[in-house]
Amino acid sequence: MSFCPQTAGSPQGPTPLAAAAVYQRLKPARRLSLTDKAGAFLDLLEIEPGGPPVTQTRREEVRREIERHGFYEHSPEELLWGCRFAWRHSVRCIGRFFWKQLEVRDARGLRSLEDAASQCVAHVDAATNAGAVRPLVTVFAPARPRSKNTLRIWNYQLLRYAGYRAADGAVLGDPAEAAFTEKCLALGWKPPAEKGRFDVLPLLLSGLRQKARLFEIPRGCVLEVPLVHPEWDWFKELGLRWYAVPIVSNMLLEIGGIQYPAAPFNGWYMGTEIGARNLADISRYDMLPEIAQRLGIFSNRESSLWRDRALVELNRAVLHSYQTAGVRMADHHTVAQAHVRFEEDERSAGRPVTGRWDWLVPPISGAATAVWARSYDPTEYSPNFRYQPSAYC
């Protein structure tokens, strides 16, 4: 295991024309050969201010590896910058202004599920950083030609709460995790004797010449934040809490044509992810009716906007609780303003301003944020984090 060092490169930035030419070759295209994809990635590295130097010797080395093996390996510096580019190109992420802060844990040499599980737990601890959450990605071995033993992480996120489905269809906990919880139970997971709404699921890993196995996450490394309200003392009676760091673990990282099926990554939470989605969605914890009842504003008339008023108070509680606990979190207005700065940086560098409007606009007060009236190019350039088929469906 090692952290990739940031290497010094040319301080001068690319000309807009140079960047535009490179990005034409970074568009998703299945017909490109691995040699072409690798070459385009090296071109991107070469024009990146502060990036590692790309020599002709390195280009020839990559070409020979591909010709001989149908594959090539990224250097530690290439991996670091490839991961940062993948975040910069993530059209669904509103937090990309901080892409240069991403750190990489290089776990490509691990050969057992036990070691992989240990490094997933280490990622949780390192990313949490006692509440000072830092952007982090752990990269496991890439998929190789004709190999079926690549590591897969079955979890949607490294940390997630169980959803226990009853015979009548009701779910205790997180309904979004009901199917995965059933899979874990079928494989032998033993939940707490008294099941609750916030039971942390185990890790489920497969590959590396081993069948799917469960690994418990030590409670001591999972930082959770009990939710309280800045004004209403009764709010803590709801018994709500959430974990500190969202670590997405089911996506595929692609860099220069090389695919990494296991590369858990995280930034830090935007408050609305918890307060306007995880705890508020009807298909998730659906807390708005109970909060509205407690506030005395519940109504059968939707025009009373009881949902909106309860939603604001829930989001106030989330932001207040994380701030009080000293856990890094951002509000949606601040993050939207930072994304506008990110867009300005991209435009100045001659890079396309990409994004998915339906993902970038926050789920609360969208029209009041800085990104509402903007439009974006949804192209998912390489490198990138991409969806891949579920490991268990």
Q: Which residues are catalytic?
A: 93, 96, 268, 273
Strands 269-270 and 265-266: unpaired
- Please give the Cα distance from 258 to 254 (Å, whole number): 6
- Please give the Cα distance from 339 to 328 (Å, whole number): 18
Structural contact between residues 243 and 279, judged by C-beta atoms closer than 8 angstroms: no
Structure-token match 């599980």, residue found: 117
Residue 70 identity = G
Residue 89 identity = H
Token pair listed for 70: 């149908």
Longest distance between any two alpha carbons in the chain, whole Å: 71
Order of strands across the sheet that contains 252-255: 258-260, 252-255, 384-386
Q: Say how far residue 374 (Cα) sits from the centre of its chain.
A: 24
Structure-token match 């670590």, residue found: 247
Distance in Å from the first CA to the final CA of the chain:
31
Structure-token match 């705890």, residue found: 279
Q: Which residues contact 299 (CB under 8 A, 6 or more apart)?
A: 292, 306
174: Cα within 13 Å, side-chain hemisphere: 21
* Signed CA dihedral, 321, 249, 83, 6: sign only: positive
- Please give the Cα distance from 380 to 359 (Å, whole number): 14
Using CB atoms within 10 A of its CB, is residue 284 exposed (0-12), middle (13-18) or buried (19+)?
Answer: middle
Query: What are the beta bridge partners of residue 163?
Result: 173
- Please give the Cα distance from 362 to 333 (Å, whole number): 9
